[in-house]
Amino acid sequence: MLRMLSPIVDSVVKMDFRENFTNQVLDAGSMNPGAFFIALLLVLAIDVGIIYWLWNNVIVNVITIAKPIKSFWTAAGLLLFLLIVHS
In tens digits, the chain (87 residues) has pLDDT values of: 666 667 766 666 666 666 666 766 656 566 678 888 999 999 999 999 999 999 999 999 999 999 999 999 999 999 999 989 988
Count CA atoms within 13 Å of residue 78 on its CB side.
19
Does the residue 44 lie in any domain? yes
Q: How far apart are CA 32 and CA 34, in angstroms?
A: 6
How many domains is the chain built from?
Answer: 1
Residue 7 lies in a domain: no
* Domain-located, residue 28: no
Whether residue 47 lies inside any domain: the answer is: yes
Do the domain assignments include residue 58?
yes
- 60 belongs to a structural domain: yes
- Residue 25 placed within a domain: no
Residue 59 covered by a domain: yes
Buried b (16+ CB within 10 A) or exposed e, 15-37: eeeeeeeeeeeeeeeeeeeeeee
Give me the domain span that covers residue 82: 36-87
Which pLDDT belongs to residue 7?
72
State residue 36's pLDDT score.
86
